[in-house]
Amino acid sequence: MVKRLRHRPFTAVTGVQIPLESFDLIKLFLGIFDHRDEYNR
């Protein structure tokens, strides 16, 4: 729950600033953060 709330504003801001073509890079970037969060657990 906390992870989703934290990523929502970040994704919203990035989606507005970065063009649609780089959306895949954003998803990959967020994926790396998700792996880090799971690893810290």
pLDDT of residue 1: 47
All residues at 6 or more sequence positions from 25 whose CB lies less than 8 Å from its CB, including other chains: 18
The string of pLDDT tens digits covering residues 1-41 is 455 555 555 666 655 665 666 778 778 888 877 766 666 66
pLDDT of residue 22: 73
pLDDT of residue 8: 58
pLDDT of residue 33: 75
Q: Give pTM, 2 decimals.
A: 0.31
pLDDT of residue 29: 81
